[in-house]
Amino acid sequence: MKITGPSLRIAAVGALILTILTGCGSSEEEKPAGEALVGTFQLDPGHCDAKGATGSYFRMIQPGGTVEKGGYFLNPDSKCPDQSYSVAIAGTDRGLVTGTFQPGPDPAFNARGDALAGQITRPGTFTAIKFAISTQSVDPGTGEKLPAPEVRNDDGKLSGQLTAWTAAWNNLYFNQGSPKPDGTTEGLTSPVVGTYDEESGRFELSWSSTIEGGPFDRFSGNWHLEGTFVASK
């Protein structure tokens, strides 16, 4: 068969269209792996000893530090031998609920600046003032809309987004989610990762999140949650 000039041009245009279409296909957002776990991540209480902590806990890292080595902000109200650990105890909802928000009460603070939210964890004490966790549909700092927490299980490996995870203390809010509300992972912010045993429901989740702005600008929270997942009925 003889290939003519017009045929070549048609073939070239066809190849170009095919390339563009293929390109468009590959630029589509990848579907998140695994299935969404919708329900309550019921928290084990945190315990600590001379070696560190187990269960659910939180550490605050000073600017310039690392998750592995610190330097850590020592919480004088922590009962742990290593006061960089502040352990958590499940709140009235027994833990983190995915697919919805746990915003806490309104007003969120008392006159002393103690944070009052107690659905996910009981308020803990941080340098004499209670701090609390909530998941907010709107970031109190920036006013941005936030997605409801999502955790996915891919064959025992957990991933997801906890962008709405918000700490409150001393009349202030600190976004402690990952990724951050603008979708980035600035500073020490690291993806939500963990493990899940489908039979027992046992899970571990951890992530870090760097604070942007305010008195603790560039400080980072390192979060570790452990417990049992119970699916919504």
Partner 1 sequence: MTTRGGSARPVAVALALVGLGLALAPVVFGMFHRAPLGAEMIQDFAPLMTKERLAGFQGHLAGIDASVQELDPLVEEQPDIGSPSYATFSKDWPEIHTTMTSLMDQVAANREGYDAVASLPDFRLFPWFFAVPGVIIFLLAGYAAVTGRDGWWLRGPAAAIGVALVVLPFAVGMFHKAPQGAQMMGAFETIETTENVARIQGYFATMASGQGAIRLDIAPELVRAGVPHPATERLDAEWIGILNDMTPMIGAMSDSVDNYQAVASLPSFRLFPWFFVAPGAVLVLISFIPRKARP
The least distance separating partner 1 from the CB of residue 49, rounded to whole angstroms, comes to: 18
* Binding to partner 1 in span 30-69, by CB under 8 A: 62-64
Closer CB to partner 1, residue 169 or residue 196?
169
Are 195 and 157 within 8 A, CB to CB? yes
Q: Supply the minimum distance, in Å, between the C-beta of residue 119 and partner 1.
A: 25
Please report, for residues 96, 136, 139, 217, 220, the alpha-carbon distance to residue 182 in angstroms, rounded to integers and kept in the order given: 22, 15, 11, 16, 17
Amino acid identity at 92: T
Applying CB under 8 A, the span of 45-53, 149-157, 168-176, 191-199 interacting with partner 1 comes to 168-176
- From candidates 9, 217, 231, 232, binder to partner 1 by CB under 8 A: 217
Are the CB atoms for 107 and 115 separated by under 8 Å? no
When asked if residue 81 is in the footprint of partner 1 (CB under 8 A), the reply is no
Q: Which amino acid is at 190?
A: S
Instruction: Confirm or reject binding of residue 9 to partner 1 (CB under 8 A).
Output: no
* Burial class of residue 120, CB neighbours in 10 A (0-12, 13-18, 19+): buried
Q: Give min distance, CB of 105 to partner 1, in A.
A: 20
Minimum CB separation from partner 1 for residue 212, in Å? Answer: 10
Contact 53, 85 (CB under 8 A): yes
Shortest reach from residue 195's CB to partner 1, in Å: 33
- Cα–Cα distances in angstroms (integers) from residue 73 to residues 66, 70, 193, in the given order: 12, 8, 23
Among 172, 201, 228, 230, binds partner 1 (CB under 8 A): 172
The nearest distance, CB 85 to partner 1, in angstroms, is 14
Return the sign of the alpha-carbon dihedral for residues 137, 78, 191, 186. Answer: positive
Binding mask 125-144 for partner 1 (x = CB under 8 A): --xxx---------------
Peptide bond into 179 cis (omega under 30): yes
Can residue 116 be called a binding residue for partner 1 (CB under 8 A)? no
Q: Which stretch binds partner 1 (CB under 8 A): 6-14, 91-99, 179-187, 217-225?
A: 217-225
Which of 227, 230, 179 lies closest to 204 in space, CA to CA?
Answer: 227
